């Protein structure tokens, strides 16, 4: 079923194909295709919710623990995974390298941990500073749309 695959990216299993054929026989091809599209969208939403939940599950229980991990150079936290789930990444305009947006991430973390305004300002600053100091890709100097490598290559004038 190409309709399902166009939404979810994988083919329907044999049982679902059989049930869809029965649905088409009972209600017609057009209604069966609508049904398959709706089913595919529901399943894709569930997959996305599960992926987001899994990505956020690596975050520590408190924002203070997260900040300590981010500020510790020996920490093994992969902040790119939750940053992506929190909508704080984008691809380099030239090479598609994942770029973490420190300010967007720090704001998303504040919302995730539901911090009070008093705690939020300090947390935002510490998180953004830790991200900038961590060595993860945050974009080229003065260029948030391109990774540091692509920005440096263009700056060289080659």
DSSP-derived secondary structure for 71-85: H-TT----THHHHHH
In a shared domain, residues 76 and 127: yes
Give me the pLDDT at residue 45, please.
92
Nearest to 97 by CA among 153, 156, 146, 152: 146
- Tell me: do 62 and 130 sit in the same domain: yes
pLDDT for 89 beyond 80? yes
Do residue 42 and residue 66 come from a single domain?
no
**Which of 37, 53, 69 finishes a domain?**
53
More confident residue, 66 or 153: 66
* The predicted structure's pLDDT at residue 135: 87
Domain containing residue 131: 58-155
Long-range Cβ contacts of 59-65 (<8 Å, 24+ apart): 59/109, 59/112, 62/113, 63/109, 63/110, 63/113, 63/115, 63/119, 63/123
Whether pLDDT at 8 is above 90: no
Confidence band (pLDDT; 50, 70, 90) for 48? Answer: confident
Could you give the number of structural domains in the chain? 2
Higher pLDDT, 115 or 23: 115
Q: Which of 53, 73, 93 is the last residue of a domain?
A: 53
Judgement on whether residues 84 and 121 belong to the same structural domain of the protein: yes
Q: Please write the tens of the pLDDT for every residue from 49-83.
A: 888 888 888 899 999 999 999 999 888 888 999 99
pLDDT band, very low/low/confident/very high, at 2 (cuts 50, 70, 90): confident
């Amino acid at each position: 079923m190409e309709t399902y695959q166009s939404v979810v990216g994988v083919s329907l299993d044999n049982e679902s194909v059989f049930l869809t054929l029965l649905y088409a026989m009972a209600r017609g091809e057009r209604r069966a295709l609508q049904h398959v599209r709706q089913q595919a969208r529901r399943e894709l939403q569930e997959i996305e919710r599960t992926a987001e939940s899994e990505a956020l599950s690596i975050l520590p229980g408190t924002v203070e623990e997260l900040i300590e991990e981010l500020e510790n150079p020996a920490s093994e936290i992969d902040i790119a995974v939750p940053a992506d789930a929190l909508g704080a990444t984008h691809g380099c305009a030239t090479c598609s390298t994942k770029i973490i947006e420190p300010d967007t991430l720090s704001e998303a973390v504040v919302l995730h941990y539901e911090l009070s305004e008093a705690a939020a300002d300090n947390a935002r600053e510490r998180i953004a500073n830790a991200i900038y100091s961590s060595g993860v890709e945050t974009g080229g100097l003065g260029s948030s749309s391109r990774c540091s490598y692509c920005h440096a290559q263009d700056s060289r004038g080659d």
